[in-house]
Amino acid sequence: MAEAPPPRSPLAGLADALAGARADDATLAEQPARIRLNLRLDPKDADALTAAGAILGGSLPRTPNTAATTVNGKTLLWLGPDEWLVTGPAGEGGAPEDALRGRLDGRHHALADVSAMYATLVLSGPRAREVLMKGCRLDLHPRAFKPGACVQTTLAKANVILHQTDDAPTYEITVRNSFAHYLATWLLDAMAEYRLA
């Protein structure tokens, strides 16, 4: 039986434009493929939270709109009181999902692999915040939104998960595949004035 071809990025048609979207003030790139798991647990079930944390290599964030990075390179994003998005290196395949299912068996939980549903754009540089402010109503000032913050919001009318990873600032913008091309094109246009400068 023939092996299935690797999945094609929804941003493949913009590869050249993204390769040229590099400047001192703002840079845009597609994040390499990662696994993405949507995990729902009862936040009052301390044993389930501990079990999940042991598999993931770090505690699930309990503070609203925060993210944590684990020792084994996974990112855990708080999406709601009982919901998290777990991302990790694509090379791990289904191992984290299988391990979580095994450890949480018999406990009230929901776990779904949503890797194929999303693309992630990485926007970075001194003007990145200004680029985002053109299409996002959130207060992105460093006093209100800083490294480790994440939120579900809209950017240019597309639903996204916005995560600030450092002080550069760098933002990971996770969007459904069906909106990825539109949003990448919008971001390229929004940052054009800074690239020209």
Which pTM does this prediction carry?
Answer: 0.91
Mean of pLDDT over the chain: 91
Reported as a pLDDT band with limits 50, 70 and 90, residue 61 is very high
Asked if residues 78 and 67 have their Cβ atoms less than 8 Å apart, the reply is yes
Can you tell me the mean pLDDT for 134-146?
95
* 75 against 197, higher pLDDT: 75
CB neighbours of 191 closer than 8 A, spacing ≥ 6?
21, 23, 26, 28, 123, 127, 131
